[in-house]
Amino acid sequence: MTTNTDLEELERTLLARVAAANDEAALEALRVEALGKQGSISALMKNLGAMSPDERKTFGAALNVLKDKVTEEIVTKKAAMAEAALDRQLQAEAVDVTLPPVRPRLGAIHPVSQVMEEMAAIFGEMGFAVEEGPDIETDFNNFTALNFPKNHPARELQDTFFLNARDEQGERKVLRTHTSPVQVRTMLRQKPPIRMICMGRTFRKDWDATHTPMFHQIEGLVIDETTSMADLKSVLTAALKAYFEVDDVKLRFRPHHFPFTEPSAEVDVGCDRSGGTLKIGTGDDWLEILGSGMVHPNVLKNCGIDPEKYQGYAFGMGIDRLAMLKYGMPDLRDLFANDTRWLKHYGFSPFLLPGLAQGVG
């Protein structure tokens, strides 16, 4: 016959084993052994049937107390173990947020890419969309649509690289000699009003300190019912002020000829060369910086735009030259020499994207 003393003994043993269990598996095994269907406490429960009512009352009550106690001890210990495991995991994965961030080595942004970002920010702020076009162009987009007469020497004047293959009409594709074909693409695709810039690689047969066979241009085009040279001048002045980060910029328009604009002008920016350094903005000297003009009616017609209703202005500049002027790089050829020491010196952090709010410099 099991006595209360036996129960006390059993309780001591079980609680000691709960205390000694050192992982969740051991605890679970112990729970099954004591409280499971075949467990020691359940076995004692089965004896109750053979007892007198009085015995059953006291023994049953004692057994229930024991069962509750052991259950509670196991549940409490399991919870404590889970909490300890979580603490260990948190400790192991702890991060010291006061340490300075580790900057991955991402290399440097090339000055040409930087200037493109700067220009996108500057013109974007003035409502210009950024358009794109391919490096390999049709003769039509690069020349014909832009009012270069067929077989006119002007095509050769651009020192064009022609591809060998001829299409059915006997025409050869070209490496675009300027970004102007992107104007054509935009006008053919989109109805006025148009307000766009495009930037990218251009190609001509040329090689010296200020010319490379591959270089970069930025071009702008505005088509609307009332556009004028005055608008052109104000847009260029605002853009150059923002780009060179100066309070004032003087511009001088000199008559020129481009097939795609009439009238056409070359634009000089005021500068100061005194003291051996070049300061862009104002001053007594001039520096030629871009070509521009009012879009020729033939170009509008070629692109499906009614020149009686619409007019436009356009401008084009060399991005590499803009970069050299702003960041003081003396030789154009260095820009494309793939020398990582040069890039380390002149490159920009990938973490600092230009924007008008924080300055584009």
Closer by beta carbon to ligand DAH, 34 or else 235: 235
Name the minimum Å distance from CB 318 to ligand DAH.
8
Name the minimum Å distance from CB 316 to ligand DAH.
3
In the complex, which residue's CB is closest to ligand DAH? 316
- Residue 240: its H or E element: helix 229-244
Closer by beta carbon to ligand DAH, 242 or else 265: 265
- Residue 268: its H or E element: strand 261-272
Name the minimum Å distance from CB 267 to ligand DAH.
9
Residue 352 DSSP SS3 = coil
Closer by beta carbon to ligand DAH, 174 or else 314: 314
Name the minimum Å distance from CB 219 to ligand DAH.
5
Integer Cα distance of 357 and 125 in angstroms: 10
- CA separation (Å) from 338 to 74, 110, 342, 346? 69, 10, 8, 12
Closer by beta carbon to ligand DAH, 10 or else 196: 196
Tokens of 278: 């070049």
Closer by beta carbon to ligand DAH, 220 or else 354: 220
Tokens of 74: 């196991």
Name the minimum Å distance from CB 336 to ligand DAH.
18
258 beta partners: 261
Closer by beta carbon to ligand DAH, 33 or else 266: 266
Closer by beta carbon to ligand DAH, 31 or else 178: 178
- Residue 116: its H or E element: helix 111-125
Name the minimum Å distance from CB 279 to ligand DAH.
25
Name the minimum Å distance from CB 284 to ligand DAH.
26
From the CB of residue 195, how many other CB atoms can be counted at a distance below 10 Å?
A: 19
First-to-last CA distance in the chain? 95
From the CB of residue 148, how many other CB atoms can be counted at a distance below 10 Å?
A: 20
Integer Cα distance of 27 and 29 in angstroms: 5
Binding site for ligand DAH (CB under 6 A): 178, 180, 219, 258, 261, 291-293, 314-316
